[in-house]
Amino acid sequence: MNIGLSTYAFFWQISGHNPSPITVEEMLETTASLGGDVFQICDYPLIESMQEDELVSIAQTAKKLDIELELGTRGVKPEHLLNYLRIADILNVRLIRTMFHTADDKPDNEAVYTRLMEVLPKLEEVEVKLAIETYEQVKTSDIVKVIEKINSPYIGICLDPGNTIAALEHPNDVVRLSAPYVTNLHVKDFIFSRKDGWVGFSLIGCPLGKGLLDLTYMLGELKKENKDVNAIIELWVPYTNTIEETISLEKVWTKKSLDYLRRNIK
């Protein structure tokens, strides 16, 4: 199992809150310096408007650093996914993560199936896998039903049990349901924190190993299914007093999380 980072591990460093957002090349260099094997360019709209020479430069940097690249987007419109396959070809990407829905396009499960079946021949032709992420807007059982109906090794699941808590799905239930179909793994830890005034709770991130994610169970279930997939660190770092403090915290959490994951993968 190779491990690495996502753009979500650099959320504040690439955000508009940062006066000098870092580049993909800088994220790649950080990933390499921390001993990561993979970098997932996920929900990073700038990648869609880059010229071919810019994409080639990213691919060359990744190759020089011996980093495998992955892509991540949202939605299942065929024209959108085909555009990402174009980008994937330039970047030498073999896996794209996506979600059933976007902010303004929420097809039902039958429509999702139809769209994915339209794209499937191209996925098979270029040998790129599509990984559908588990998240709160769609029941995990519904994602599994669509995956089972398609029945192709080129369309599987990106397992992220932290997302589904908002829909009252227990993370371990999501792991168990998804494990046979997992082709990509997002690893982020989380805690519930009581809000000031003792009214309500917040679901926030924390360094891997410090929260409620049952990493042992998740890795164990994947091992039972002989799933040797890339494990990608993501973070939910809350904003602190300043952007500088928040970025500093993000960097600390990234290193701690990657180190923890490395120690616990057997």
Q: Does residue 159 sit in helix, strand or coil?
A: strand
- At residue 195, the pLDDT reads 82
pLDDT of 116 higher than 90? yes
Compute φ and ψ for 104, nearest 5 degrees.
Answer: -120, 15
Binning the chain into helix, strand and coil, the percentages to the nearest 5 are 45, 20, 35
Q: What is the DSSP letter of 8?
A: G
Segment 208-229 mean pLDDT: 97
- Per-chain mean pLDDT for the chain: 96
Q: What is the DSSP letter of 146?
A: H
Of 231, 251, 237, nearest in space to 161 by CA: 231
- At residue 193, the pLDDT reads 85
Residue 189 contacts by C-beta under 8 Å, 6 or more apart in sequence? Answer: 162, 205, 206, 207, 208, 209, 210, 211, 212, 213, 215, 257
Note the Cα 62 to chain centre separation in Å.
18
Lowest mean pLDDT among 190-199, 201-210, 253-262: 190-199
Alpha carbon separation from 264 to 153, 208, 214, 257, 258 (Å, rounded): 27, 11, 12, 11, 10
pLDDT of 266 higher than 80? no
Tell me the pTM. Answer: 0.96
Enter the tokens of residue 61: 């940097």
Segment 117-141 mean pLDDT: 97
- At residue 200, the pLDDT reads 87
Residue 82 contacts by C-beta under 8 Å, 6 or more apart in sequence? Answer: 119, 122
Segment 173-201 mean pLDDT: 92
pLDDT of 196 higher than 90? no
Segment 127-140 mean pLDDT: 97
Segment 32-41 mean pLDDT: 98
